[in-house]
Structure formats: structure tokens, C-alpha cells
Amino acid sequence: MTEAEALQILTDAIWVAARIAAPILLTAVSVGVAIGLVQSVTQIQEQTLTFVPKFAAVGAVIILSGSWMMAEMVGFTRQLWENVPSLIG
């Protein structure tokens, strides 16, 4: 395995991780900003008000896109295992 091949595998792994994490992170950030805006407008500073909606939204995203996330991970892993003979030789 050359240095370029190892770098390509690492780059692909980072992109897969970013694609998998993006829906969860974007949901948590958008819900957090929306709740923060509501808190600043209503001047309610309750900590559980931020935690519960984020938890519910992230849970819903995981339920809705979990099969896609798993398919992405399995596809990447399958691609790695298929390339093992060419990387060794």
C-alpha cells in the first residue's frame, strides 16, 4: 500500500463520517438556535427546555435516517474489504 492509497482511504473515511454525522449535528444546532431564540424572547432560562427538544429531535433523526447511516457505513466497509487484496499486493 502506497502513501497515496492510505491517504485516499483516510479521506474517504472522513467524508463518510461527515455525511453520517451531518443530519444529527444540523438538527441539534437548528433546534438549539430555535430554542435559544424562544428563550431570549420569552426570557425563560430553564435548562431542561433546551435539552428535551434537542434530545427528541436528534432521536427522531436517528430513527428516520438510521438505515441510511448504516447503509453508508456498511458500503464503506464493504469497499475496504473488497480492496484489501489490491492493497496488500
pLDDT in tens, 35-64: 999 988 988 888 788 889 999 999 999 999
The CA distance from 48 to 55, in Å, is 10
pTM (two decimals)? 0.80
Residues above pLDDT 70, as percent of the chain: 100
The domain spans of the chain are: 3-88
The mean pLDDT of 18-36, rounded to a whole number, is 95
pLDDT at 86: 85
Alpha-carbon distances of 2 from 15, 58, 77, 87, rounded to whole Å? 20, 40, 19, 8
pLDDT at 45: 81
Sign of CA dihedral 54, 59, 60, 61: positive
